[in-house]
Structure 1
Amino acid sequence: MFNNLKNRFVSAIVPDLPLLPSSERERDREQRERDHQRGGHMRYLQMTDKIPYGRPSFLQLLTNDELRASADHNVRPIIVPREINLLPWATGYAECVNSGKSEWNEDQAAFCRQVLSDPEHKHPDLPYTYFGIYDGHAGCGAALAASHQFHHILHEKLVDCIEQLLPRDEDIENGKLPLNANSFPHPVYFQRRVSKDELIVGALESAFFHMDSLIAQDRNRFLYRDPGGCTACVTLFIDGKMYVANAGDSRAVLCQRRAGPASAVASGSGVAANQAESDAVEAAAYSYPTPYSADHTPETERERLLNVARLTPHLMGKQYVAMEYAKRPHIKNLGQRILCRQGTMKGWTYKTLTRDDLRMPVVNGEGKRSRLLGTLGVTRGFGDHDLLAINTGIEIKPFLTPHPDVRQRDLSQVVSIPDEHNEDGDYGILVMATDGLWDVSENEAVARTVFQTLSRYPTEKHRYTMVAQELVARARGKINDSGHWRLADSKAAATVDDISVIVIPVHQYYKEHIQWTHNYKNELEQRRRRAAEAEANNMAQEAVNVLNGIIAEEAHVVEEQPQDEKQAEQPVPEVKLKEKELEQEQEEALVAELNDETPQQTSLETVSESLEQVQLDVSAAQAAAAAETTTTTITIAATTNKQQQRNNRKGKGNRQ
């Protein structure tokens, strides 16, 4: 019951990982117990406690029989995907097991296609694609864990900086990021500007450290039986760029070719399948490799390792010495002067040899035979938390690091002329492989093989798979009558290690990126068109609302106007009475003047007194009825003007 629950939990975490039938798992468990009781080695499918052993899911090896057939050390079959559509862009993949170095193929490979989505939906979703290849040693647990979990960790790291990574509308319109939009415009919150490239590189680096710590945590919980360690080579395609992160001695090489007479042949311009071999050789003559990673071995990292030992001498446990000698010292050389260098020294110096100098150097050997503490041949990667040095029991992990080297390439800066049909040569074919390939193959030879094979398969959809298969076949070689694997071309010893190769057509990704950019431009135009239409509709609606408001206001004014005019036409009764009295007095005065010939002075005084009395009365009326003050004042002013005109006419008449 517990095993069923565990299997369901694993399938929930890794749904694309095929689980073996319960009956087969039970038989394997019983067989392992019997082998353990007998003290023998396990000869059946080895299972880790957290993730069951298996080959990459895109190979679709679902049964025990298929897994055992793929791990046949005598035949060393080359395994390729059954369906090339499972990998993006028709990417090629091939692998083969070692010749008996370990029971199972300890290499692992993985890929993942994901999208970074804006939670507020203000910016377009940003797709990305990841490829990873992992070379396990001292067990397959670390490689399995990385192949199934690293892409989840990387996605979390990218989501952490999603606000800065998502493209803005102006970036899409311009076709590339402007200089001022490629970094944080937040000097208030940050002391320095951080570019998008630095964010992505930081996400890769932190994902490597997180993966290593996760393996350590699972080891402490006894979730792995033999975790061991592994190297890691990862490629991330995002935002029109290619990022390669490597820790260990796996390698990524970008194979390119200059445009030449054979460009059309290699790119598939309709040349027949039986084209002469000379054409393939001519196609490869213009090829050249560009390394996108560096091997991390005790020899290449000798300076860093010696510096760690010099600064922390307790890690050597009085068993090793942090020195490099021009000649291996012997006891007979005690007291003699010997050339050496220590730590980060670039040059050499002399010192007198002592007994402490007779200890084993932290780094010994050269080339692929160099070893850290006489045990390990790689210095970066995941795992190795339990690894101890041979014969001394000194922990090796403090000298190791998961920190990767990260290199990048901006594909928008690549110049490719369509008429030359050299897209694969200009953008390059990225070959990612474990050290099983690179131990016996030079970068230049791999580049030649890539374009020779592409020229033989100019139009086939599986042409990149054929490239991967050809690379594995050449590194594996052929077995001779003595049971030794030899290279076919030179009869030299072939590799006895596991071989895994991924062949990625970079131009196919960039075509996809251009299409995504074009689609988003169209979407952006439609979005802006809809926004403009919505804005126009809103403006029209606002105009209608304003017009309706004006009409309603005018109707309200029309309804109130008659009542206001009626009230204006009806003066205060007292004011009307005073006006009538004034007119009557004026008429009487006029009659008196005409009949009795009253002197002009008396008539004017009478009129003046009458006007003063009327003004006082009008002021009182205005205080009583403030609302009609304006109308009354206008009426009195008009009356006064008339009276003055009459008086003026009277004065003229009297003078005459």
Structure 2
Amino acid sequence: MLSRFKSALMNAVGASELGLQYPNDSDSDAVTDYINSNLTIEVETKPYSRPSFLGLTNDETQVSADHRVRPIIVPRDLSRLPWCAGYAECINAGKSTWNEDQATATRGDLKLPDSNTTLPYVLFSMFDGHAGYQVALSARLYLHRVILERLLAIPSSILLNEEEDSLIKGRDLVIGAIELAYRQMDQMVEQQAQNGGGGCTAISILFLNGRLYAAGAGDSRAILVLGESERALTRDHTPDSESNRVRALGYLKGSDLLKGHFTSLEFKKRPLQRDLGSMVLYREPYMIGWAYKILTHPDLRFPLISGHGKRSRVMGTIGVTRGFGDHGLKAVNTGVSIKPFLSSQPEVQSLNLEDYNLSERDCIIVATDGLWDVVSDKDAANILRKTLAPDSPSLEYRLTMGAQELVQAARGRLVGRVWRGKPENPDDNEESALPMASVDDISVMVVPLYPYLCEHRQWIKTTQQERRYSTDGSQMQPNDAV
């Protein structure tokens, strides 16, 4: 049985590409044990590289890492991305040696092991690394394989079921598969992360059975651009946005996790030694309002969550609360482990694409925070609409042009020694009036929606025809044959 499961997985994604390692177990219940376990694929540390669809040589990779010029890089062959999706990137302004963002795109046929059905899928993922590139690179190489493993474990009768009155729908199990895959990926990079490999945020866009699944863990973001409207498909996970979750864990397990160095309480203003014994405003996790308490010595500990917005930090150290890696990360000057407060669980949103009147200009923008730190959702959508509006050149080029324009808007230009964006007032050319541009790595994907919907409709038509022919053939009697 395990052999059949292995074969199904190899057929689904290509044995030569996969390189997975399974236990040598011949027991008939092995596949059940495998699905129920958290068994992980062995992660092999690879040398630094850029996304394979860019087609960069080693020399070109070196040139792309020029922090002074910050060249905007696009794929040489646009057809290497599904539907010629747009992609562009540029390196940071000296923050790290390499561009620590990574991205991948894959398409194939999910050959369900318990039926004759072959279900097409397309998967895009993007990762923003920090404190090293290794974890983001490993996620680029392995996450899509782990997601496919989990999808193959779903019975086809349920995976294909979208009846609204069903207790369990196919989309529920797909979401669960993505969530389990993210947790497994985090476990896979544990040793790598403990050895200084850092961590990364993650975002995945899966097209399967007529639906779009957008999964995000961290502060990379995907937005949906439909006609003249736009909305976020994922939510940023920062210490500020997840303050209650993080502080609640510290409140419940403070002695074990905070080690007497931090407090999970939030104060209206940072308490000082001179305030001891006085009444101060504070609140506990999950509180919306405020209360008064007498300030004591334990309240002077450093706050578990400090700062606000993009400046917020967990234990004064890290500015994202979800993603992969960071297993060896310690709070500054304390040695306290931060990993218990970081989650690999993505938030997943699912959309039925048939519910939308899609056109060829409707897209998803997927980008790391190098874009979103300086470009709003609305501005990004407007830039994309403006680029896609003309009828020429062909759409496949305009998608890439759209990604380029978005990267350019975030990167800006070098003015003196500082990267600056465009002024809000075109007549304002004074250096002091120019807004700051992003100095982070910037990666942007522009994924069109309409091509997948067309492909899915054709798949339904072909599948129905095959079933009809199969039924007609099985009902023929021997004397019916000509």
TM normalised by structure 2 equals 0.86
| Preserved contact between residue 288 and residue 448 of structure 1 (Cα < 8 Å) | no
Q: CA deviation at 1:51?
A: 1.3
Match of 1:318 in 2: 260
Q: Per residue, is there more helix in 1 or in 2?
A: 1
Q: Deviations over 1:241-281 (max 9, x none)?
A: 00001000000000122xxxxxxxxxxxxxxxxxxxxxxxx
Which consecutive residues of structure 1, in runs of 5 or more, have no partner in the other structure? 1-11, 18-47, 172-176, 184-192, 258-286, 417-422, 542-656
- Aligned: 1:484 with 2:418: yes
Structure 2 match to 1:396: 338
Residue of structure 2 in register with 1:245 after alignment: 215
Cα deviation per residue 1:509-536 (whole Å; 9 max; x = unaligned)?
Answer: 111111111222232333233333xx22
For the Cα contact (< 8 Å) 1:14–1:148, is it kept in 2? no
1:359 shift after superposition: 1.1
Task: Please tell me whether the aligned partners of residues 457 and 463 of structure 1 are also in contact (alpha carbons under 8 angstroms).
Answer: no
Say whether 1:202 aligns with 2:176.
Answer: yes
Question: SS of 2:196's equivalent?
Answer: coil
Q: What are the Cα deviations for residues 74-124 of structure 1, in whole angstroms up to 9, with x where unaligned?
A: 00000000011111111000000000000000000011113221335x442
Correspondence 1:86-485 to 2 at 5 A: 86-119=80-113, 122-165=115-158, 167=160, 177-179=162-164, 183=166, 193-218=167-192, 226-257=196-227, 287-314=228-255, 315-415=257-357, 423-424=359-360, 428-456=362-390, 458-460=392-394, 461-480=396-415, 482-485=416-419
Give, as a single letter, the amino acid of the residue that structure 1 aligns with 2:124: F
Deviations, residues 14-66 of structure 1 (Å, cap 9, x unaligned): 8599xxxxxxxxxxxxxxxxxxxxxxxxxxxxxx9711210000001122x11
Provide the rounded CA distance (Å) in 1 between the counterparts of 2:356 and 2:75: 31
CA distance in 1, matches of 2:303, 2:402: 42
Count of aligned pairs between the two proteins:
435
* 2:478 equivalent among 531, 537, 540: 537
Once the two structures are overlaid, the 10-residue window that deviates more, 75-84 or 193-202, is 193-202
SS of the residue 1:386 aligns to: coil
Superposition deviation, residue 226 in structure 1: 3.3
Aligned partner of residue 149 in structure 2, secondary structure: helix
Which one-letter code corresponds to 2:178 in the other structure? L
Supply the RMSD in Å over aligned alpha carbons: 2.2
C-alpha distance in structure 2 between counterparts of 1:179 and 1:437, whole Å: 38
In the other structure, the counterpart of 1:527 is 470
Cα pair 1:107 1:143 within 8 Å, conserved: yes
Please identify the structure whose Cα radius of gyration is greater: 1
Letter in 1 for 2:377: N
Indicate the structure whose relative CO is greater, using CA pairs within 8 Å and at least 6 residues apart.
Answer: 2
Give the C-alpha shift of residue 371 in structure 1.
0.5
Counterpart-to-counterpart distance in 2, 1:212 and 1:178: 33
Q: 4+ runs of 1 displaced by more than 3 Å?
A: 12-17, 164-167, 177-180, 217-220, 456-459, 538-541
SS of equivalent to 2:474: helix
Q: Structure 1 residue 50 and structure 2 residue 45: aligned? A: yes
| SS of corresponding position for 1:154 | helix
Counterpart of 1:62, as a letter, is: T
TM-score by length of 1: 0.64
Give the conservation status (yes or no) of the 8 Å contact 2:18–2:145. Answer: no
Tell me if structure 1 keeps the 8 A contact 2:158–2:169.
Answer: no
Q: State the alpha-carbon separation in 1 of the partners of residues 461 and 473 from structure 2.
A: 18
Identity percentage of aligned residues: 42
Check whether the contact 1:134–1:143 (CA below 8 A) recurs between aligned residues.
yes
Q: 1:487 and 1:208 mapped to 2: Cα distance?
A: 35
Q: CA deviation at 1:478?
A: 0.2
- Contact in 2 for aligned 1:78/1:472 (Cα 8 Å): yes
Give the drift of 1:334: 1.2
Q: Secondary structure at the match of 1:390?
A: coil
Once the 2 structures are TM-superposed, how far is the Cα of residue 149 of structure 1 from its aligned partner?
A: 0.3
Partners of 1:71 and 1:540 in 2: CA distance: 68
Residues 360-379 of structure 1: CA deviation (Å, up to 9, x unaligned)? 10001011000100000000
Q: Which segment is superposed worse, 153-162 or 451-460?
A: 451-460
More strand by share: 2
Change (3 A) 1:16 1:200: closer
Q: Is the 8 A contact 1:124 1:166 kept in 2?
A: no
Unaligned runs of 5+ in 2: 1-13, 20-42, 425-433
Aligned partners of 1:118 and 1:166 also within 8 Å: no
- In the alignment, the residues of structure 1 paired with residue 463 and residue 268 of structure 2 have an alpha-carbon distance, to the nearest angstrom, of 62
Distance 2:467 2:313 in 1: 57
- What is the CA distance between 1:539 and its match in structure 2? 7.2
Q: Is the 8 A contact 1:140 1:226 kept in 2?
A: no
Which of these residues, 54, 62, 82, is aligned with residue 59 of structure 1?
54
Quick one: structure 1 residues 457 and 324, their matched pair in 2 at CA, closer, same or farther if it must change by over 3 Å?
farther
Structural mapping, 1:610-625, within 5 Å: none
CA distance in structure 2 between the partners assigned to 1:478 and 1:370 by the alignment: 28
- Residues 1:49 and 1:130: Cα distance change in structure 2 (over 3 Å): closer
